[in-house]
Amino acid sequence: MQTITAKRVLIFVIVVFSMSLMVGCSGMEKRPEYRSGYLYYPVALVNADRALDEARVAGKDKECPAEFNAAKDMVDKAYEVYMACRTQEAIDMAQEAINKIKALCPARPRTGMKSEPKAAEPVVILVSEPKAAEKVIVLAVEPKIEEKVIVLAFEDIHFDFDKSTLTKEAQVILKRNLQLLKENPKAKVRIAGYTSASGTEEYNQKLSERRAKAVKDYLVEEGVVTPDRLSEIGYGETKPAMYEAAPKDLYSKAAKANMRVLFEIIVK
């Protein structure tokens, strides 16, 4: 009899606990994978993590590391405060951290008056002739044309881990992208290679260059773009498409997204 009663009490406790979880998830959001502890946290805390990730992808952790780390410490502290059952205090702290993250690395105001761009100055050449006055010849100088980079709506070409050879899927995607290249016959095309965050910076830089070259060679062989219109560049593990919270996870969603090549159209 006591055993049956104990079982009923246990079932009742489980039911109550489950209902409390369902109620408690209101205003909650699933934590990022790199966070430990509870499965769900208040939305403000998760948004603070998300703001940190966006700032890191934008390079603000390197542009102003002291301010970035201070904001990160505040987010971590908000989680600790929440774990201590001080929910509102944790939410307020997370919101304050979000505001600090949004204000990271502000553009520094320039001092003095803004000068107007100078027009190209003509080149003056003095030509002397025997028994004649010096003649002045003025050669007009054309203004320098600035380069603009446009990333068209190409599909990214992805690679297998630590590989620079085109997969069959990559070749299919390249063939779908050929039409856009044909529609821009006068544009210069720069092929940009990238890698995931695992490995050394030096190795990843060379791997990204090999990936860009593989795509360039393919386009030349297909006869779509002449070699004089093509250039290549490797960005290594910089400028990732997605932030990799765990670089050692070689096959994570973020790592796969970063093993890629993009087309940059150079317009002058």
The residue type found at 262 is L
Based on the domain organization, do 173 and 262 belong to the same domain? yes
Dist. CA 72–CA 55, nearest whole Å: 11
41 falls within a domain: yes
> How many independent structural domains does the chain possess?
2
Q: Which residues contact 207 (CB under 8 A, 6 or more apart)?
A: 162, 164, 193, 195, 199, 234, 236
Based on the domain organization, do 169 and 239 belong to the same domain? yes
6 falls within a domain: no
Count CB neighbours of 216 within 10 A: 20
Of 102, 130, 157, the last residue of a domain is 102
Of 102, 137, 169, the last residue of a domain is 102
Q: In tens digits, what is the pLDDT along the chain, a chain of 268 residues? A: 555 565 665 565 554 444 444 434 447 888 888 788 888 889 888 898 988 888 888 888 888 888 888 888 999 998 999 988 999 998 999 999 899 888 888 755 444 444 444 444 444 444 444 444 444 444 444 445 455 544 444 566 788 888 888 888 888 877 777 777 777 777 778 888 999 888 898 999 999 999 889 888 888 887 767 788 888 889 999 888 888 888 878 878 888 888 888 877 665 5
40 falls within a domain: yes
CATH, residue 255:
3.30.1330.60
Based on the domain organization, do 165 and 263 belong to the same domain? yes
Based on the domain organization, do 78 and 183 belong to the same domain? no
Dist. CA 71–CA 103, nearest whole Å: 10
State the Cα angle at 194 between 193 and 199, rounded to 5°.
Answer: 135
Output Rg (C-alpha) for the chain, integer angstroms: 29
Based on the domain organization, do 84 and 170 belong to the same domain? no
2 falls within a domain: no
- CA torsion sign, 194 to 104 to 38 to 36? positive
Based on the domain organization, do 178 and 247 belong to the same domain? yes
Based on the domain organization, do 153 and 44 belong to the same domain? no
Do 53 and 72 form a contact (C-beta atoms < 8 A)?
no
Q: What is the DSSP string of 220-247?
A: HHHTSS-GGGEEEEE-TTSS-SS--S-T
Of 102, 132, 160, the last residue of a domain is 102
Based on the domain organization, do 160 and 257 belong to the same domain? yes
Based on the domain organization, do 92 and 157 belong to the same domain? no
Based on the domain organization, do 234 and 160 belong to the same domain? yes
Based on the domain organization, do 32 and 98 belong to the same domain? yes
48 falls within a domain: yes
Q: Which two tokens stand for residue 27?
A: 């205003």
138 falls within a domain: no
* Cα 54 from chain centre: 8
Which structural domain range is residue 63 located in?
24-102
Based on the domain organization, do 81 and 162 belong to the same domain? no
Q: Please tell me whether residue 191 adopts helix, strand or coil conformation.
A: strand
